[in-house]
Structure 1
Amino acid sequence: MVRGWEDRIFNLVVVVVLGLAALAAILPLMYVVSMSITPFTEVLKNGGFVLIPKSITLSAYHKLFTETNIPRAYVITIIITVVGTVVNLVLTSLMAYPLSRKNLPGRTFFLLMVVFTMLFSGGLVPTYLIVKSLGLLNSVWSMILPNAVWSFNVLIMKSFFEGLPEELFESARMDGAKEFRILWQIVLPLSIPSMLTIGLFYMVGHWNEFFQAIMYVTDRGLFPLQVVIREILIQTQMPLENAENMMPTETMQMASVVMASLPIIVVYPFIQKHFTKGMLMGSVKG
């Protein structure tokens, strides 16, 4: 097929636009990584901007792991992310499955309640009082249970469940399977793309946990990664004397940002195809 000059110009424009978008995404990441491994003297020589370092030092990462609460914060964040994501997926699937059944009594009312929570919330003070009355203050659960179910994710999973062939459910019921067994042995195995998609949403939310931590946790030993990084980012700049031996705050900041972002960047490529498939299948029925 011979392409005309209009198609060639269009393809060129698309390549240029995509190339610029890629640079806009890659260059800030390169800058952050480079600044975190560049000696401070080289940073000063280059006016505070280094994209490709001439020499490399890992002293900032060494100091983060030995002189800050980063290691413990990593453990807390991993616990919140793993346990929280499991709780989220279990509760979301248990809520989405009955809502996907058209013969559920009061289905319209429950769906309206789910949508209502997307538009209105109980407020900060009532939520804090509930967390306090449940004895969750200064605990890991205070950063998990208040966001145990996201209404948006419930609707995505409900739409996916509705797209499954009704014949599967009828056949299972004829064989004597109850609803929970249908969910566990039929629906969930067929919903892996949707589960991975929603799990990624929940995982990123828990990994970036910040607001609930500063609201409900005062014990510094329970601070998650983002709160500890915030403390590093707001540190005052160090004086410039003895630049050879000192550790600048800016280098520490960049190293902490890399440590916070690296796990998500590493995990995402492995589930990207499932993420795209789950979004499409969860939004299109039939």
Structure 2
Amino acid sequence: MKDSKSDKVVDIINYFLLVIVALLVIYPLLFVLSASLSDPRSVINGEVWLWPKGFTLDAYAKLFQNQDLIRGFVNTFKYTSVGTIINIVLTIMAAYPLSRRDFVGRNVLMAILVFTMFFSGGLIPLYLLIRDLGMLDTFWVMVIPNAVSIFNIIIMRTFFQSIPWELQEASIIDGCSNIQILTKIILPLSMPVIAVMVLFYSVGHWNSYFNALIYLTDRDKFPLQLILREILIQSQTDEMIQSTTESIVEQQMMVEGLKYAVLIVSSLPMLILYPFLQRYFVTGLMIGSIKG
């Protein structure tokens, strides 16, 4: 069946809009990359639009000489790795029983969990709780308070419910325990939603800085994003620019290059992670969609 003229017009409009959206998303990334590789003078003068001008790697050289930044990168990697593992385990442990038809009281528990999405005690009670638990200025304060997301539990529970219940009934008849059903049947069929959760949680941990700002005082435990905040907002780059002979203008230009280089370095790990999860991610995004 051939498309009508109106269908072709709609397709052209859709393609045009998608191209515009793609350019709006891609151009800022290309600009930041080009600015990080360009002469800071060209960036400040507005001469950099798409391609690097006055190619230089000085900003990256200065960047990797800073010990605070390297330490922050390592800390963030630890927080993201451990935190994501805890998140996935707890989300699965909560979502699986809530998806079981034979779990008595699951609707009541689900209502209680959903209630916490809209109402909370607030920041001050949370801070007092963290203090009383002795987690202030520790590694665990970066992974325990956000150990699970109710929204992600709902997503995973929905996916588990889409798996035919007859598979679990047959497994029970064959003598499988609940743990065996989960590990040998449910989880192997749930790789798409697990990949989505890994991406959601890891990006959240990687970009997190508010908890560190509130709960951490030891600079050796600062994550990368808190170091970036100092560079981008407070412009605390004295340790990066160690030469005392540089003029104020030259220092400002170096700071300008460092800002863009830091953005590229901090975004690179997540950009590398996404292609490996893309196949599962696209499938997982269709959870809950209408199927014909």
The question of a shared fold, defined as TM-score above 0.5 by the shorter chain, is answered with: yes
Any unmatched runs of 5+ in structure 2? 238-245
Q: How many Å separate the matches in 2 of 1:2 and 1:101?
A: 46
Alpha-carbon distance change, 106 to 237 in structure 1, aligned in 2, over 3 angstroms: closer
Checking the alignment, whether the CA contact within 8 Å between 1:97 and 1:161 is kept in structure 2 is: yes
Residue matched to 1:20: 20
Residue matched to 2:189: 190
Residues 18-45 of structure 1 show CA distances to partners (whole Å, capped at 9, x for unaligned) of 111111111111111111111123335x
Residues 78-134 of structure 1 show CA distances to partners (whole Å, capped at 9, x for unaligned) of 111111111011011011111111221221210111101111112111111121122
CA RMSD of aligned residues (A): 2.3
Which deviates more, 11-20 or 111-120? 11-20
Q: How many Å separate the matches in 2 of 1:155 and 1:140?
A: 28
Q: What SS is found at the alignment partner of 1:281?
A: coil
Q: How many Å separate the matches in 1 of 2:12 and 2:49?
A: 31
Residue matched to 1:116: 115
Residues 196-251 of structure 1 show CA distances to partners (whole Å, capped at 9, x for unaligned) of 1111111110111111111111111111111100000024599x958678752221
Does residue 273 in structure 1 map to residue 272 in structure 2? no
Q: TM-score, normalised by structure 1?
A: 0.91
Q: How many Å separate the matches in 2 of 1:211 and 1:48?
A: 35
Checking the alignment, whether the CA contact within 8 Å between 1:69 and 1:228 is kept in structure 2 is: yes
Q: TM-score, normalised by structure 2?
A: 0.89
Alpha-carbon distance change, 242 to 70 in structure 1, aligned in 2, over 3 angstroms: closer
Q: What SS is found at the alignment partner of 1:146?
A: coil
Does residue 149 in structure 1 map to residue 148 in structure 2? yes
Residues 57-82 of structure 1 show CA distances to partners (whole Å, capped at 9, x for unaligned) of 11111111112511111111111111
State the 1:276 CA deviation. Answer: 2.0
State the 1:14 CA deviation. Answer: 1.9
Residue matched to 2:136: 137
- Aligned length, in residue pairs: 284
Which deviates more, 180-189 or 265-274? 265-274
* Counterparts of residues 239-250 of structure 1 (less than 5 Å): 241=247, 247-250=253-256
Alpha-carbon distance change, 136 to 55 in structure 1, aligned in 2, over 3 angstroms: same
Does residue 174 in structure 1 map to residue 173 in structure 2? yes
Any unmatched runs of 5+ in structure 1? none
Q: What SS is found at the alignment partner of 2:46?
A: coil
Checking the alignment, whether the CA contact within 8 Å between 1:85 and 1:202 is kept in structure 2 is: yes
State the 1:149 CA deviation. Answer: 0.8
Checking the alignment, whether the CA contact within 8 Å between 2:136 and 2:216 is kept in structure 1 is: yes
Q: How many Å separate the matches in 2 of 1:39 and 1:243?
A: 13
Q: Percent identity?
A: 44
